[in-house]
Structure 1
Amino acid sequence: MRQLLSALSYFSIFFAPFLFPLIVWIATQDRYIAMHSKRALVSHIVPFAAAIPLLILTFGADNPGSVFGYIVLFIIIYFGTFIYNIVKGIQVLREYA
């Protein structure tokens, strides 16, 4: 059950990116599950934190090249964290197998 809740915290990128890891982190007494749910929550927040400068650049930039470059950087960050969550979820499931 520990591995399942921990892995679901990472896999929640598909169905409830912020809500599920936050609920698991608050509700659990187990340090192992809390550690993984906190890591999953942070990894779900990173792409959205990277989007804040993108919004600021979009409205205040005179150079469209800089906006395009930041959009590419945002896409790389987003897909990197997406792949990270999938890999970590599989690793947690395989830990005790």
Structure 2
Amino acid sequence: MVTRYTQSEKILSALSYFSVFFAPVIFPVVVWILADKPVSTHAKKSLLFHLLPYILIVISSVILGTTGSVTNQFLYVILMI
């Protein structure tokens, strides 16, 4: 089954993904809450893609911090970048 999107649905879906440049968390959340089903699905996916790097940074810093394998602070900063 082929789903046809209107022009406004296409624009809102695209803006949800491109909002990483101007409002990476706020815009997808607002679109997710206010929009209908196809657009809200894209907003939810874009929110996940925007938050995933931050979640991975926190997880990797916890792993690196608890293992004690990185003793040089400069090397730790390079790994985080």
TM-score, scaled to structure 2: 0.70
Total equivalences in the alignment: 71
Q: Superposed, which structure 2 residues align to 1:9-28 within 5 Å?
A: 9-28=16-35
Q: CA deviation at 1:70?
A: 4.3
Superposition misfits of 4+ residues, deviation over 6 angstroms? none
Amino acid at match of 2:70: N
Tell me the distance in 2 between the aligned counterparts of 1:46 and 1:64: 27
Offset at 1:68? 6.0
Contact 2:64 2:70 in 1 (8 A): no
Give the superposition deviation at 1:57. 4.8
Gaps of 5+ in 2: 1-7
Identity across the alignment (%)? 34
Query: Higher helix fraction: Structure 1 or Structure 2?
Result: 1
In the alignment, structure 1 residue 40 sits paired with structure 2 residue 46: yes
**Equivalent residue letter for 1:15:** F
Larger Rg: 2
State whether residues 54 and 67 of structure 1, in contact with CA within 8 Å, keep that contact through their aligned partners in structure 2.
Answer: no
Which residue does 1:50 correspond to in 2? 56
In structure 2, the residue matched to 1:86 is none
Q: Rate the CA distance shift 1:70–1:53 in 2: closer, same or farther, 3 A.
A: farther
Q: Which has the higher contact order (CA 8 A, sep 6+)?
A: 1
Tell me the alpha carbon deviations over residues 29-85 of structure 1, each in whole angstroms, 9 at most, x when there is no partner: x211011001001101100101112432565534247746743xxx5xxxxxxxxxx
